Chain A
Amino acid sequence: MAARTEGLSARDAVALRLRGGSPDWAGWLLEAGLLLSLLVAVGILFVLVGDTLVKAFPVLAERPLDFLTSTVSARAPRAGILQAIIGSLTITLIVAALAIPIGIGAAVYLEEYARDSRSSRLIRTNIRNLAGVPAIVYGLLGLAVFSTALGLGSVLLAGGLTLAVLVLPIVVITTSEALTAVPESIREAAYGVGATRWETIRSHVLPYAAPGIFTGTILSLGRAFGETAPLLMVGAIAGTFSFVGAPWEQMFEGYTTLPTLVYHWAGYPQAEFRALGAAAIIVLLGVILVVNATAIILRNRYDRKW
């Protein structure tokens, strides 16, 4: 702004400076650009969900309950997702039972027990890398180790084990972060009154880190619930899930899950099956929305200030 101020009184000079500015075009343009980015991101999401809802509408409107409680069928009007729901829930349970305790244990060891050495840093870095490995690689690993080497074959248990391995690094990382967020001064306070390391961890560090750990593990379960590719490698296929025998026997049966069923139905040429797929997607999205919302509510509720 090049307002000329020579020869003016101080008062006039100030008035000229303060009032004589031109609008901030560059700033306005930047703001518009940023808003546009947001609209594109949200817009795409809306279009995707909207399109799916429209496609799923016939199924969800005509037989919402029947769709949830029917089994997989080659005849579209009778096909449902009961087996997929049971398969997905069982696999999530296997993941929870394995990945959560092992992951939390590993993180507690890394953060609270291991000395800060070259090898512990190397392990930490590698766990971060593992969390970024494409899911299909875990599928190959599951196929090689659980299905083939351990001889499990294409069964529910192999799928659960594979996904447990997949989310393990995520559980370790989120737990580590929750543990490091507990200030050192709290540990010192506990040690200062004669607590042992384990007493300090059990009575203070773990309880204070618990909200963060819960949030992280719930999100990782959501990830397991929606995972598709690795399960295709370890034999999740549509329709061979039987209801014969006790639950532990079904662990060694064929299985299907919600996302793999969606994948399967999407391959059919008939529009009826694509409508079924869309309806299954809506169910899947609903479950994941509930899972993520739970995590957010937990985090906000127990958010701690030090």
Chain B
Amino acid sequence: MTLTTRPPAATDGEQPIDEGRTIRLMSAQQVDETEQSVPAAADERMPMRFGDDEIVFELNDVSCYYGTFRAVRDINLQVPKNRITALIGPSGCGKSTLLRSFNRMNDLVDTAHISGSIRYHGVDLYDGAVDPVEVRRRIGMVFQKPNPFPKSIYDNVAFGPRIAGYRDSMDELVEQSLQRAALWDEVKDKLKSPGTALSGGQQQRLCIARAIAVEPDVILMDEPCSSLDPIATLKIEELMRELKLNYTIVIVTHNMQQAARASDYTAFLTMGEDRAGYLVEMAATDELFTRPANRITEDYITGRFG
């Protein structure tokens, strides 16, 4: 079983980026129409169902291990397409670990492994025939600390497409990616200067531009604003709302206001007695923050936790 490969950034002369955008826009509108029905289904919360929404990720009994230590246990949840799904919870509850298992980033840690299944558009990501490199190309990632390459702004964005074999006009793709990351106007005159010379917020938007340059399907964000000031944070959140028209976003955040402001669905994880993180509940964000079904969730979001 292999991933069906979407042509990685166009080998035919067409503009696949715009094509993809219109298709996704349509499905986003369809999703909007069905959104009203979501709260009604919210009583049955584990795992949450999304009516007619297309499901991107489906996790069944996922546990993540580092060696013999179980960091996350028995997660069942689904991530709908063209939505922002937030993972919140106290430090050390395994949010980041879980997120990094979505694109097999944790493969890079020698001792890390998972049990259960993570299905991405129905394909088991941990199937032996799945190529983790292709997985990461389709499921991009933005990290906690901005990590631009110590290269020019241009090369930061162009690296992904270049190794993916993109041979069309790189200048156009770089411009388009930077525009979509809302950074173009600030850097268009200094594309040759190093990405590391930008401010923290700009660096993080550069990392987002780098991630979307390879035309992924999903963007995973691991506390993308934790090292940014409030203004840069708001900019990133604004950007996320625009990006969800084209991408499915899963964001890990420490900041509950951020989850409440920016996400459509929120999953709350916490740590059990065995120090393993588990899913307490997942719901539409408004629902979870106004009428949490679980006492632990209520304690956490009202600040009475631990």
Where the two chains meet, the residues of A that have a C-beta atom closer than 8 Å to any C-beta of B are 115-116, 183, 185-196, 199, 203-204, 208, 304-306
State in angstroms the CA–CA spacing of A241 and B159 once bound together. 53
Contact: B210 with A193, CB < 8 Å?
Answer: yes
Residues of B within 8 A of A199 (CB): 163
In the complex, the answer to whether A116 meets B110 with C-beta atoms within 8 Å is yes
Within 8 Å of chain A (Cβ to Cβ): is B49? no
Q: Return 11 A-B CB contacts under 8 Å, by A number.
A: A115-B110, A186-B150, A188-B108, A190-B149, A191-B105, A191-B136, A194-B8, A194-B137, A195-B133, A195-B159, A199-B163
Does B164 sit within 8 A of A, measured CB to CB? Answer: yes
Q: Quick check: B213 and A193 within 8 Å, CB to CB?
A: yes
Interface residues of B (CB under 8 A from A): 8, 103, 105, 108, 110, 133-134, 136-138, 140-141, 143, 145, 147-150, 159-160, 163-164, 196, 207, 210-211, 213-214
Q: How far is the CB of B215 from chain A (nearest CB, A)?
A: 10
Given contacts A190-B149, A193-B213, A194-B138, 16 further A-B contacts (CB under 8 A): A116-B110, A185-B145, A188-B108, A189-B149, A191-B105, A191-B108, A192-B105, A192-B211, A193-B160, A194-B8, A194-B164, A194-B214, A195-B160, A199-B163, A203-B159, A304-B150
Of the candidates B164, B207, B214, the one whose C-beta lies within 8 Å of that of A189 is B207
How far apart are B298's CB and chain A's nearest CB, in angstroms?
A: 35
Other-chain contact of B160, A183, A194, A204 (Cβ < 8 Å) = A194
- Total number of residue pairs linking A and B with CB closer than 8 Å: 69
Supposing A116-B110, A203-B163 touch, asked if A194 and B136 sit within 8 A by C-beta, the answer is: yes
A183 / chain B contacts, CB cutoff of 8 Å: 147
A-B pairs, 8 with minimum CB distance: A194-B137, A193-B160, A185-B147, A192-B141, A189-B147, A115-B110, A194-B136, A199-B163
B residues less than 8 Å from A116 (CB atoms): 110
CB of A204 within 8 A of CB of B149, answer: yes
CA separation between A115 and B159, bound complex, in Å? Answer: 27
- Pair B136/A189 contact, Cβ less than 8 Å: no
Q: Please, which residue of chain B has its CB at the minimum distance from the CB of A202?
A: B163
Do A189 and B163 touch (CB < 8 A)? no
Cα A194 to Cα B216 in complex, Å, equals: 10
Q: Smallest CB–CB gap between B200 and chain A, Å?
A: 13
Nearest A residue to B132 via CB reads A191
Q: How far is the CA of A237 from the CA of B251 in the complex (A)?
A: 70
- For A186, list chain B residues within 8 Å (CB): 147, 149-150
Q: Report yes or no: A188 in contact with B133, Cβ–Cβ below 8 A.
A: no
Assess the A194–B150 pair: CB atoms within 8 A.
Answer: no
Q: Which residues of A contact B211 (CB under 8 A)?
A: 192-193
Using CB atoms, name the residue of chain A closest to B100.
Answer: A188
Chain A residues near B196 (CB, 8 Å)? 305-306
Closest residue on chain B to residue A208 by CB atoms = B150
Q: How long is the Cα–Cα vector from A116 to B160 in the complex, in angstroms? A: 28
User: CA of A185 to CA of B103 in the docked complex: distance in angstroms?
Assistant: 16
| B137 in contact with A188 (CB, 8 Å) | no
Nearest chain A CB to B231's CB is how many angstroms away?
24
Report the Cα distance A194→B139, complex, angstroms: 9
Contact of A194 (CB < 8 Å), options: B143, B163, B207: B163
> Across the interface, do B163 and A195 meet the contact criterion of CB distance under 8 Å?
yes
Cβ-neighbour of B133 out of A187, A196, A208 (below 8 A): A196
Q: How far is the CA of A194 from the CA of B131 in the complex (A)?
A: 10
Q: What's the Cα separation between A186 and B159 when bound, in Å?
A: 13
Complex-state Cα separation, A185 to B207, whole angstroms? 12
Residues of B within 8 A of A187 (CB): 108
For the complex, give the distance between the alpha carbons of A196 and B165 in Å. Answer: 13
Do A194 and B133 touch (CB < 8 A)?
yes
On chain B, the residues within 8 Å of A188 by CB distance are 105, 108, 141, 143, 147
In the assembled complex, the Cα of A192 lies from the Cα of B148 at a distance in Å of 12
- Bound Cα distance from A189 to B150, whole angstroms: 11
State how many angstroms separate the Cβ of B7 from the closest Cβ of chain A: 14
Bound-state Cα–Cα, A193 to B214, Å: 7
Contacts of B141 in A (CB 8 A): 188, 192
Residues of A within 8 A of B137 (CB): 193-194
Q: List the A side residues contacting B150 at CB < 8 Å.
A: 186, 208, 304, 306
Q: How far is the CB of A118 from chain B (nearest CB, A)?
A: 12
Taking the nearest CB of chain A, how far is it from the CB of B236, in angstroms? 17
**For residue B108, which residues in chain A have a CB less than 8 angstroms away from its CB?**
187-188, 191
A193 to B148, CA, bound (A): 12
Contact B143 A185 (CB under 8 A): yes
Name which of A115, A191, A193, A199 has the most chain B CB atoms within 10 A of its CB. A193
Residue of B nearest to A203 (CB): B159
**Cα A190 to Cα B26 with chains together (Å):** 32
Shortest Cβ distance from A199 into B: residue: B163
A190 to B136, CA, bound (A): 10
Most chain B beta-carbon neighbours within 10 Å: one of A188, A196, A199 = A188
CB distance from A229 to the nearest CB of B (A): 41
Let me know if A193 and B159 touch, CB within 8 A: yes
Residue of A with least CB distance to B214: A193
Alpha-carbon separation in the docked complex, A235 to B16 (Å): 69
Which residue of B is nearest A184, CB measured? B108
